[in-house]
Structure 1
Amino acid sequence: AIVKETFRLHPATPLSLPHIASESCYPIPKGACLLVNVWAISRDPSIWTDPLEFQPE
């Protein structure tokens, strides 16, 4: 739990590694390069009750 919480607050790559969409979905066309902002997701207050607090559970 401590390691998972540490990586949530301090991800090894704040932006995920690039991925290529293998098929069209949502408004993302096939072949588009995608980067996910891991840093922002792990601090989203709509997902985490206290996103900046270290809480290994």
Structure 2
Amino acid sequence: MLTIESTGGFVAGINGAVLFALLIGLGAYLGWHWGFRSFLTVTLASIIGYFVFVSGG
């Protein structure tokens, strides 16, 4: 869950799954942009594995 509050400043609460997905997405984008398309396969496998085995999805 991503929570953003605007009272008295900017506060963003990000749980582990969202942070993991953001970092994996950034890695996939950079890998694709730099031409390392094989990294995309590893990235997608990591995402699927995380959500199936760790998140209980």
Q: Do both proteins adopt the same fold according to a TM-score greater than 0.5, normalized to the shorter chain?
A: no
What range describes the TM-score normalised by the shorter chain of this pair?
A: under 0.3
Larger strand proportion, structure 1 or 2?
2
Larger helix proportion, structure 1 or 2?
2
Q: Which has the higher contact order (CA 8 A, sep 6+)?
A: 1
TM-score normalised per structure 2: 0.28
